[in-house]
Amino acid sequence: MKQVKFKFLKYIKFDTQSNPNSNTNPSTVKQFELAKELKTELENLELKNIKLTDKCYLYAALPANTDKKVPTIGFIAHLDTSPDESGANVNPLIIEKYDGKDIILNADDNTILSPADFPELKNYIGQTIFTTNGKTLLGADNKAGIASIMTAVEYLINHPEIEHGTIKIAFTPDEEIGRGADHFDIKYFNADFAYTVDGGEIGELEYENFNAAALKIQITGRSVHPGTAKNQMINSINIAHDFHSMLPDFSRPEHTEAYEGFYHLTDISGKISETTMNYIIRDHDIKKFEDMKLHIKNITDSLNKKYNKSVIKYEIKDNYYNMREKIVPVMYIVDYAKDAMIEAGVQPKIKPIRGGTDGARLSFMGLPCPNIFSGGHNFHGKYEYLPLQSMIKAVEVIVNITRIVHNKN
């Protein structure tokens, strides 16, 4: 299972950053480079039904090695890395037998990974840790998931004494920009249920996620020379300030945790005559989620009434919904993962995802798909790190799931 180390270090050399401003599928052609490498590896392992689509979805199947009729399981990970930080020229630091002290990622700009800022580091004293060099992200999200799945498949092939049903795997593009399930072929994949291997720290097991929407606010002002502006100028920047101030302060990401939702202003640009703001809206509870969207309407109506004209227009687009309602009727698939972790000596940490995964959308497309850990921390930035032992345990959990599903059916 330690082969997972070498696979991970190979995969992170591929720059697979997705691009939210692209209208192509996939959003970046470079994601194909890793997909092609994985396709070759799958062919060398002699898996079946291997297909790389023109949209950069890679599918394969490991046939059953038993005559027993058992469910077909899927394991899914995404190819792309976050647009938030460069994924090119990733040169990780490999910290052997971590001593619990500060790790200098980049001495030139004094970038330090410190347990004072990230106390979870203390959980990995004595272990091997992969970190960034302070200039890029690491790519554990989700190349740790890819490496874990590929290693688990190879392990099962090399250990035919482990009986299992048909196992499907898929690697998807553009998950980081919310498009990972856009062109996923559920019919071709043809699994009874699946797991995304896309979680964080060791033990994470998740079957709840945010309901999510994107909000775009467009404000139209009136630009007049400030010397003669009285009762004439309408400053759209001031209206933007008024709008934002009418949202509850405590419902921002920096003040929320667990099941608490938020409004998050992601960007703003403007001048006197026009201002645009983009938000994301999140909540696990569908009723609260709908109330948050209604609150946007009420604020907009109030400000338009104040100015006696339509100065604000908004557009809300739902992105995905809480997969809990699709998982609860088949909770035994969560139990399989829970038991698999316990068998691997891992304490399951069942908690809601404060975000979304491909699995959320796939669950609503008819493929129930909870999420299990891949082991990384501090995704999407230069403080990302990955304990090797956590990734090895992710491999064990995948293997254990296949065995448990066979034995319990």
Q: What is the dihedral of CA 284, 286, 287, 292, to 10 degrees?
A: 70
* Global pTM value: 0.90
Whether pLDDT at 92 is above 90: yes
The whole-number pLDDT of residue 232 equals: 93
What residue type is 105 in one-letter code?
A: L
Domains and CATH numbers, the chain: 3-208+322-407 (3.40.630.10), 211-320 (3.30.70.360)
48 CB burial (10 A radius; 0-12, 13-18, 19+): exposed
State both tokens at 338.
């829970």
pLDDT, averaged across the chain? 96
Question: What average pLDDT does range 288-317 have in this prediction?
Answer: 96
Question: What average pLDDT does range 32-59 have in this prediction?
Answer: 98
What residue type is 188 in one-letter code?
A: Y
* Annotated active-site residue in 15, 80, 176, 208: 80
Dmax over CA atoms of the chain, in Å, equals: 86
State both tokens at 175.
């998950």
Whether 208 is catalytic is no
Whether pLDDT at 178 is above 90: no
Q: What is the pLDDT of residues 317-337, one digit of tens each?
A: 998 999 999 999 999 999 999
Whether pLDDT at 361 is above 90: yes
What are the angstrom distances between the C-alpha of 407 and each of 54, 59, 205, 306, 308?
A: 38, 26, 21, 66, 69
Percent of the chain past pLDDT 70, that is, above it, reads: 100
The whole-number pLDDT of residue 71 equals: 97
Note whether 285 and 261 are within 8 A (CB).
Answer: yes
Whether pLDDT at 54 is above 90: yes
Give the burial string for 190-207 (b: 16+ CB within 10 Å, else e): ebbbbbbbbbbbbbbbbb
Whether pLDDT at 356 is above 90: no
The whole-number pLDDT of residue 155 equals: 97
* Annotated active-site residue in 154, 174, 175, 358: 175
Q: What is the pLDDT of residues 304-320, one digit of tens each?
A: 999 999 999 999 999 89
Whether 175 is catalytic is yes
Backbone angles phi, psi at 191, to 5 degrees: -110, 155
Whether pLDDT at 224 is above 80: yes
